[in-house]
Structure formats: structure tokens, C-alpha cells
Chain A
Amino acid sequence: DAGVIQSPRHEVTEMGQEVTLRCKPISGHNSLFWYRQTMMRGLELLIYFNNNVPIDDSGMPEDRFSAKMPNASFSTLKIQPSEPRDSAVYFCASSLGGASSGDEQFFGPGTRLTVL
């Protein structure tokens, strides 16, 4: 298996533009997580899905952020409009179950987003 796949790996955009980050989880995994990594706050959970259904989006910063999982093999995280403070590395992770099952989360390589 190729592991969790994220695209693009790097994204540079201007303030106000729409940004879409993409994730393909490991086949057969039922849970998908979106994280944001910054120096100040470390790894923050933004939202997670179980069986394609959003379970907890309390970490989503504000209405400019939205996430979808239309099927078991694809998820998107969209920022519209983007702002310079959104600059960070965004990780997608998947697991067979969730932390409550003791299942390991497998992370993708991340997307480094820079908003100018």
C-alpha cells in the first residue's frame, strides 16, 4: 500500500484565494483525520470522519474552513478565503478504527501551505 497520499505537497497562494487540499486514505481504513501543524500550537486536530461521516469538527478554526469526504477513498479540506495566518503544514491521517480502538493513525507527508 502507498500509505496516505496528500496533494499538493506545497501550495503558495495569495490572500483571498481559495485553497483545496486533498487526501487519499489507506484503503480499508474507516477513520480520517485532518491536522494542522504550527510552531506555536503543534499538531492540532481540525476535523475527523468515521465511515465518511464528520464526527467532530470542533477544531476547525472558523467558517472559512470546510472539509468533505464524499467517499471512503477521498477527502478535501478547503479554505476560502485564505489568509496569511493559515500558513502551516496540513496533515491528513487515517486509521482502521480510532484512538478508542487503540488503532494507530498513519499520517500522510503533509501539505505545506503558504499564504502571501
Chain B
Amino acid sequence: DQQVKQNSPSLRVQEGRISILNCDYTNSMFDYFLWYKKYPAEGPTFLISISSIKDKNEDGRFTVFLNKSAKHLSLHIVPSQPGDSAVYFCAASEYNTDKLIFGTGTRLQVFP
């Protein structure tokens, strides 16, 4: 049973346009959410996070939105660049635990 779900295995976006990656979760005890980015043959690297007390967090071209009632979060990348082509993992943790539960990832391809 996947507690964190990324239902779109892949996404293709034209350079300059907005990329929207989606993530759903089932565990209402999750209170901290993260996005990691992974290039081939490398380990994932942290991108951006959001606490459940917020509904939006922005860092440059990256914005994460959290909808607690829908148990849904999304990552917006504007404008998308070819260097953003990677696999994006959504992750979540429960209050006062160190465990991260990851989704299956979405492969983003940004084409010229």
C-alpha cells in the first residue's frame, strides 16, 4: 500500500512553460513534505519542502502547494528549463519521526 502516490510516471513540457508535478498521500499523520530531484546515475538531491502549517512555499522557480483537505501536493516549476529534466520524488514524514516515505517518482522531460 503506497502511502505516497505519484500517478504520472512521466511528463513532457516545452522549455519556458510551466511544469506541474502532482503527489497524493493517504496518511493524515503526515505533517512534512519534500520534493527530491534525481539525475541518472546520481542520488536524489533535496529540492524544496513544506510544513503542514503552510499551504505554499516558494524558492526561485520552484513552488510547492499543499492542499491538506485533499491530501494533495504539487510542485510547480516556472519557467521550465532543459536542465530540469530529471526524476522528481515526492516524500512525506509523520510528526516527530525521522522516516521519509517516498513516492514512485515522475520523470520530467523539458524539450526545447
What is A's interface to B at a CB cutoff of 8 Å? 4, 31, 33, 35, 39-45, 48, 50, 55-56, 91, 93, 95, 97-102, 104-110
Contact = CB atoms under 8 A, between A and B. Distances in A.
A107 B98 contact: no
Contacts of A101: 98
A97 B98 CA distance: 8
A41 B42 contact: no
Most buried by B among A41, A43, A93, A105: A43
Interface residues of B, number: 26
B6 to A, nearest CB: 8
Contact of A43 (B44, B46, B97): B44
B25 interface: no
Nearest to B92: A99
Given A93-B43, A102-B32, A42 B98 contact: no
B105 A91 contact: no
Most buried by B among A39, A42, A91, A97: A42
Contacts of B42: 109-110
Contacts of A31: 98
Given A40-B104, A44-B102, A56-B99, A99 B43 contact: no
23 contacts: A4-B43, A35-B102, A41-B2, A42-B6, A42-B103, A43-B102, A45-B99, A45-B100, A45-B101, A45-B102, A56-B98, A91-B44, A93-B43, A98-B99, A99-B93, A99-B99, A100-B93, A106-B43, A106-B46, A107-B36, A107-B45, A109-B42, A110-B41
